[in-house]
Amino acid sequence: MNPLTSFDARTGASHGEALTPSTAADIDTAVQVAHATAPAWGSSDGAQRAALLDGLAAALETDREALVALADRETALGTGRLNGELDRTAFQLRRFADIARRGVPFEVLDDPAVPGAPPVGHPAMVLQRVPLGPVAMFAASNFPFAFSVLGGDTASALAAGCPVVVKAHPGHPHLSQRVFGLVQRVLAEQGLPAGLVGLVQGAGVEVGVSLIRHPLIAAGAFTGSTRGGAALQAEANARPRPIPFYGELGSINPVLALPAALAAKGGELATTLAASIAMGCGQFCTNPGLIVLVDGADSERFVAALTEALKAQQPHAMLTAGMRQAFASGVDRWRMLGASTLVQQPDNGSAPGPQLLQVPAPRFLAEPALQDEVFGPASLIVRAVSTAEVLQVLAAVAGSLTVTVWGADTDTADNRALVRGAMAIAGRVLFAGVPTGVAVIAAQHHGGPWPASTAPMTTSVGDAALDRFLRPVCLQDAPAWLVARGGQPC
């Protein structure tokens, strides 16, 4: 295999020492040692899991200056954004530490025996959960801390009692190595086996495919493109023993800007939306890639204001040259399919200019390729003539992480229909603000119907992310010593 090279995201120049991609033997070793840690870690108590997660959060914060500098070089996301993301990552680790400490992974449902014959009578049953086993975690490109080596997937899997083998993202290989070094140091300090968290790396598809195919891997967690996630899900399903695969994939995150909202504060909303489109160079899974308007004077004024506001945005460089090319190709595809250009700002060196295009709803509905995600600082306006046409647009999207509905503040038949339509395709429906920014809280749901995710009943952000890595087991007429463990696996 070719060496794994780190590139400066702003200049495209290689830097640092080239890394050696993981071989089949390396992957097998990482999974084997993770599997060997599974029984002990799966039976650990909440205090031990919390201590590890707290220790990992502290290690990130202690090494903040070096980590942020390295991340900025490999991603061009800027030190302000990256410091905030490191804070979020430490917060996630500590939140799952608290979840483990409070005993959430060990919660039980006790159904005492009832004398007599069925259906009223039944034996004593206790429902608890057990860890799945080693998790293959695929790091994302656009969040080098929060969805990477020590991101939310790793934090929730460890809190659930599962070892983790991380497939590092090739877009930030040196950062991944440095964070992994911190992990190994904390594991050693706490007397835990090094194999509890493993790392494999490589720029090609072979490493990820080999990892998800390994017979000792019990689940997969992925954040990335629809194409990549679909391929890995197919591999997970094609195994002799298929495993759950939790993929967060593509999403165009429609924003329904209804006339009532635009009449009240269209200018303010245009400014807010323009900043959201360009935020992080548009490299967010919640980037507002689709804006649905109902034709009228308020919508015309809003489009004019949004056009001017977006022209003033100055995105930074994209994460990789490949993403930059894919972004340009995606916008060109919109134009070739009949979308007209409202904003086409020139590139600023390695940074793409923001783009805004528009298309009538019938054209959007007739061309499925217009419904695909374009990852970057661009958005497509769809012009509808009625609520019915807006609902057709939503149905064509099929699945999204978010839908934003501005202006549904009164209880009307149309607003009820629009809310139903939004809830039918999204994991999170917003009625104020913009979709960029995902709070790590108990009520969060970061998922949605395909193609937003492979498992719409689960979330990759928030407290319920833990549930992906725990499997229910019913204990019938269990011995007293087992019941006394209070849901902690033995």
Distance (Å, whole) CA 228 – CA 169: 13
Distance (Å, whole) CA 74 – CA 58: 23
Q: Where are the domains of the chain?
A: 4-249+453-483, 254-430
Q: Is 285 a catalytic residue?
A: yes
Which tokens belong to 120? 């009223």
User: Which is the catalytic residue, given 74, 235, 285, 367?
Assistant: 285
Q: Directed axis angle between helix 226-238 and helix 205-213, to 10°?
A: 30
Distance (Å, whole) CA 394 – CA 272: 22
Distance (Å, whole) CA 436 – CA 430: 11
CA 167 to chain centre: 15
Which tokens belong to 338? 């009949």
Cα 350 to Cα 9, 87, 319, 338, 451, distances in angstroms = 9, 28, 10, 27, 30
Distance (Å, whole) CA 409 – CA 430: 12
Instruction: Look up the CATH number of domain 4-249+453-483.
Output: 3.40.605.10
- The closest of 168, 184, 194 to 33, measured between CA atoms, is 194
User: Which is the catalytic residue, given 74, 235, 248, 389?
Assistant: 248
Distance (Å, whole) CA 268 – CA 430: 17
CA 14 to chain centre: 28
Distance (Å, whole) CA 328 – CA 342: 16
Which tokens belong to 474? 């019913």
**Whole-prediction pTM:** 0.95
- The closest of 120, 47, 106, 37 to 473, measured between CA atoms, is 106
Of 3.90.1170.50, 3.40.1010.10, 2.40.270.10, 3.40.309.10, the CATH number of 254-430 is: 3.40.309.10
For each of the chain's 490 residues, which pLDDT tens digit applies? 688 999 999 989 998 999 999 999 999 999 999 999 999 999 999 999 999 999 999 999 999 999 999 999 999 999 999 999 999 999 999 999 999 999 999 999 999 999 999 999 999 999 999 999 999 999 999 999 999 999 999 999 999 999 999 999 999 999 999 999 999 999 999 999 999 999 999 998 999 999 999 999 999 999 999 999 999 999 999 999 999 999 999 899 999 999 999 999 999 999 999 999 999 999 999 999 999 999 999 999 999 999 999 999 999 999 888 899 999 999 999 999 999 999 999 988 778 999 999 999 999 999 999 999 999 999 999 999 999 999 999 999 999 999 999 999 999 999 999 999 999 999 999 999 999 989 999 999 999 999 999 999 999 999 999 999 999 999 999 999 999 999 999 9
- Greatest Cα pair distance, the chain, in angstroms, is 78
Which tokens belong to 156? 């929730």
